[in-house]
Each structure stands twice: as C-alpha cells, then as structure tokens.
A and B are shown apart, each in its own frame.
Chain A
Amino acid sequence: MLETKTGTGLGAPAVDRRKFLQGVSLATLAGAGLLPARRTLAATKASWVGWQGYDDPLKAGTFLADNDIELVTSYINSNEEIITKLQAGGRGQIDLVTIYYGHVPLLVAADLAEPIDESRVPGIGDIFPEFLNVDVLRHDGKLYAVPFTWGTLSMIYDPAAIAAPTSWKDCLKDEVKGKVAMVDDMTGLLATWAPIAVGTQTPTRLTMDQLKASIDYLINIKKNHARTFSPTYGEATDLFARGEVVTSAIGWDAMVGFAGAKGKKLAYVIPEEGAMVFMDTMVIPKDAPNLDVAYKLIGQATSAEGQKVIADNLTQAVITKAALPVIDAKNKEIYQYDNLAKLFERARFYPFWPIEPEGDFVVFDQVLEEYQRFLKA
C-alpha cells in the first residue's frame, strides 16, 4: 500500500478542499465579528474638486464631524480640468468646486453652474466688496461664484541663496541661469511676462502679434534660464527645497507655506513690474447632489476659522473682514487689507481672456493654441 505524504495511506487527505473552505469561512466570520461596529447612519459624502490646500479650511476643527460630512476631495493641476471634469460626466456628481474667477463665465455659458442663493451664505456681507462685486461673478443679476481667497503670483526666491530681487528680469541674469523655477500656468505666465515682452498694461487683452511675441519671450526663458518646467507649483516648491533653483519666473505666495512644511525658508516679492492678483471662488456645479451640504461647505470656507487656515497654511489673503481679527500681523502687512487700492497699484486684477471675439484681441481658444507652441519648444 502506498503511503501518502500525510502518512494515512490511500484515502482522503487530512484536510480536504471542503474542510479548508469551511475553516476559512469560519475564520472570516470570526474576524468580522472583531471589527469595530460601523456607524448605523452613514455620513453624507460631499464631493469637492479644487486646488490642493484649498480643502484645509473644510477639515479644520470639528466642522466635518459636527455636520456628519465625509469630504471626498479631488485635486486639480489646472482650472480647465474642472470644466472638463464637469463636461465629462462630473455634473450631478460633484458638490463644490474652487475655480479661478475668470473661468466662471465659461461655467455659466456651458450651463455647469448653479446660481448662488446669497441668503444661504452666512457672512456674505463681510466679504470685501472689491472681490464680491467683480462683475464676471454674476450673470443676469444672479451670483454664480462666492469669493474664497486671493493672492498674488509673486516672485519666489531663496533668501539664503540670493538677495531679494527687484525686477522679474533679475531671473534672467547669468548668475542664476539654469536655477530658475518655471511652472505650467498659462494665464499666470502671460500675465507676468506679456507686460515686459510687449509693454501692454492689460496682458489678457493681446493682439495675435503681441501674443506670439510674448510666447517667444517665454520660450527663451524656458529653454535658456529655467531649470525645468514644473507641472505644478508643488513641484516647483520641491525644486527650491532640494536646492535645484534659487529664484522663479512665476510664483505663488502659497509656495512659502509649502516650503516651510518641508523645512525650507523661502520669501516672495512683488517686483517693480507688478504681479497678477488672482481670486479663486467657490462654485456649486449644476445638479450638485448635496446642495445643503454645499452651502455648509461654503459657509465654513468663508468663516473666520476657515479663512485663518488659508492665511496660516497657504500664506494667502483672506476674503472677509470677519477673519481680520484672527489672522496674524504678517499676513495683514503683506496684503494691506485696510488699503487694498494701494496694493492693487502693483498687484493687479486682470480681466479673463475674451471668450468671444473682441476687436483685434485674441480669444481664449487662440491663447490655448498658441501656448501649445510654448509647451513644444
């Protein structure tokens, strides 16, 4: 008689397939019984799409727990991603987006935005009128976007490596050649360099010749001065942290905060040529599945507590007077809330690119197309 490896001789093995499966099932049930009991009422899942860091105010304190909200975030690399996400099936799935104010007309034109019921936004009266009354936020008398934060696309530099720059052209000097950060931000790059390249006062109103000349200027910076072409401001911050760059051809105030978290001290300056002011807003997409939750999120984001998080974490400006008592003096010194007109002399608010033809000026589609030439260079 042949002995099997189990030593039981010919016949059934000690553990057959049925017994094995029974054992696994029992073990699984026993293990499941040891798991923590799930909540009997599931939290409301709120879908949020926007820039990384802009969700920090929503996660501050106990807001989400108090309101039984589970925040599902999706970060973007460009504002246009929000439009494509909504067009490609996101409508009806997303509750709130944060988007650059200039894109609001695009969302409205494509029927992708809900009008805002201003009575449901607590503290809307405290929002600085310079931002709340920007005309592109409204269409047919209805508000479609609530201001959320603003800041400047200023020049970021490493104070340990170089002296504070005074001009954007300082990044083109030989001593920093190959050590310049440059980020894929079409409107930011053109708003910064078109005034220098072609002398325009309104860089978002360019003729085709001016656009081409500005793109040629940017190509020169990219090919001959930039260390690399970063896809995001986060990647550019990483370059500073690793010592690859010491100055920038475009920057975002929040990079100072990002770098601080990596243990790197950076500084920023508004050069003599000026810098672009941006404003990001909150928009409720059309057919948002959780409208009540969306208004709660807006309320939290524009509250003093939420705005303080923006100021502390991202070194950006607050949008509401209600936050002024709780933000630090350094932030107030940078953004001069008591004299915004003076700040705006050098940090400027530009209108968005024309979407429809406007005289000889290029439209948004043409800018996107010409920007491809810059990307290919």
Chain B
Amino acid sequence: METGWRERLLFAPAGAILAGLFAVPLVALFVVSFWSVRSFALRPDFTFASYARVWTDYAGVFGFTLGLALTTAVICAVLGFIFAYGARFHAGRYADGLVLAVIVTLFGGYLVKVYAWKSILGADGIFNSALIGLGVIDQPLPWLIYTPGAVVLTLVHFQLPFSFLPIYASLRNVKTETIEAARDLGASAPQIVARIVLPQCRAGLVAAFAFAFLISAGDYVTPQFLGGPSTTMLGQFIAIEFSTRFNWPGGAAMSFALLAACLAIVGAVWLLVSKRRRT
C-alpha cells in the first residue's frame, strides 16, 4: 500500500523529536570532536588529535571496557534466556507474575542497586557477616568488592530485566504445538532448545545482548563505587574530560570512538546470527 503525504505527516512529530533531541546534538558533538581546547576555552579548529589520543593514550582502558561490557552482555543474554524460557514454557499460570516481578525490579533505580551491592559485598556486608557468623572465615573476604567481578555482578543485576524482556517477547511467538510435535518425533530437550526455540528467538537474543552491552560499555558510576583502584572504564574518563577538564573535543572523540566500536560489535553479532539462520 502506498504511503500518502498524510500518512508521512503523522511521523512528523516523532521525527522532529528524534531530529531535535538526538540527531542534532549528536552531529554538533561530532563536529566538536574535531575542535581543540586551551585554558578551558573551545577553539573551532579541525584536527584529528583527539581521536589519535584515544588510540595512543586510552587503548588499554578501551579494550578493558569492551571486554567487561561483553562479559556482562553474554551473562545477561544467557541468564535472560534461561529465565524467559522457564517463564514461557514451564511457569504455567505463574508466568505473568514472574514477568511482573522482573518489571518491578526496574523500579529500584540505578544508584540504589549500586549502593545495595556495596552494602551486601562490603567488609560489614551480609555475605561476610554471615560467613563470619557461621565460623567459615575469620576475616572479611576482601575480593568480594572493589574488583572487576563486583562491577560485572552489579551491571548484570541492573541489566538483566532489560535482557529478559525482549527474549520473553520473542519466545511468546514460539508455538507450543511445534515443540510438542518435535517431542513426538523423538527430539530431546536440548535438541528442542537448539533447533526449535533458539532459531525463533534470535532477534530477542540479539536485542538482549545489545541492550546489556551498550549500557555497560558506557557505564562510569559502577566502576567508581565498586571497581577498585585498577578497574577504570572509558566512561569515567569521558566524564572527566567533560566535567573537570572542559576538554569537550577529547570527551566527544572518546564517545564516538566507543560508539563506533560498540556498533561494530553489535553489528558483528547480528551478522553472525543472520549467517547461521541462512546456513
């Protein structure tokens, strides 16, 4: 059906919001990434110095950030799938309740969860207090907190609902009759998951991965509060460039470099999944 000008006009408000609040600021910041700064004042030059600095000075932090985000995203996608599969096919009438429980956890807020994990994992937290109380240990375990593991744990806790929801939505389209038919034909449970369920929820899995990966890659609060002395992510340096150094070109260059890397990784995952579907 052809879309007339009236139908196109209906998209105008959404398009205006997208353009005004997303595209225009993004383009403006991209332009600034080629400027320079001196004594807290921007200079509208044209230089690649800020991008070169990302590669020469922050390659290690860049790689660490992507690695930690990848770890978080994979864990979220796996755990999200397990929980969504259980809710869709095994929870019966409790499925809606499980979905509601996941949604309710979103109300907690980001900082609340960060501080909650600080309390749980800290020297006087629940874990250490319980283990000391049971006589398992004499001193608090120092490695529970201020480590990359603590950052991953907190990010997974925060991202999991965002991963669960798209996977669950995809699984809703998987017909139970198909699964029953496969079972009748002798397929085992792992075969049903691998050959019936997973292919039909690929889009949900990729969305789950992308949500968790992109949000984690840009995070800078969790590593500050839970990461320890050597767990620094690129987001922290981006924040410093903007807030402390007024180095907007430097911060913008870091941001766009990270954005490009993230899009490349998500694109690669999508292509991988698509290729498997065609073969």
Contact = CB atoms under 8 A, between A and B. Distances in A.
A87 B246 contact: yes
B41 A110 contact: yes
Interface string B4-42: 000000000000000000000000000000000011110
A223 B41 contact: no
B229 A228 contact: yes
B97 interface: no
B243 A78 contact: yes
B141 to A, nearest CB: 12
B146 A227 contact: yes
Nearest to B228: A228
A81 B232 contact: no
B148 interface: no
A235 interface: yes
Contacts of B244: 78, 80-81, 84, 368
Contact of A228 (B58, B146, B237): B146
Contacts of A26: none
B124 interface: yes
Interface size of A as a range: 20 to 34
- Residue of A78, A83, A110, A376 with most chain B CB atoms under a 10 A cut-off: A376
B173 interface: no
A80 B245 contact: yes
A118 to B, nearest CB: 27
- Residue of A235, A243, A244 with most chain B CB atoms under a 10 A cut-off: A244
A242 B122 contact: yes
Contacts of A178: 142
A242 B124 contact: yes
B40 to A, nearest CB: 5
Given A80-B243, A83-B246, A110-B40, A243 B58 contact: no
A87 B228 CA distance: 32
A84 B123 contact: no
Nearest to A228: B146
A222 B41 contact: no
A223 to B, nearest CB: 6
A365 B40 CA distance: 10
Given A80-B245, A83-B246, A377-B230, 12 more contacts: A80-B246, A81-B243, A84-B245, A110-B41, A222-B229, A229-B229, A231-B224, A243-B123, A243-B124, A243-B140, A376-B57, A376-B237
22 contacts: A80-B244, A80-B245, A81-B244, A87-B40, A110-B40, A110-B41, A178-B142, A223-B230, A227-B146, A227-B228, A227-B229, A228-B228, A229-B229, A231-B224, A231-B225, A355-B39, A365-B38, A365-B39, A372-B57, A372-B237, A375-B240, A377-B230
Interface of A: 77-78, 80-81, 83-84, 87-88, 106, 109-110, 178, 182, 222-223, 226-229, 231, 235, 242-244, 355, 365, 368, 372, 375-377
Top 6 closest pairs, chain A to chain B, by CB: A80-B244, A228-B146, A84-B246, A229-B229, A222-B229, A243-B123
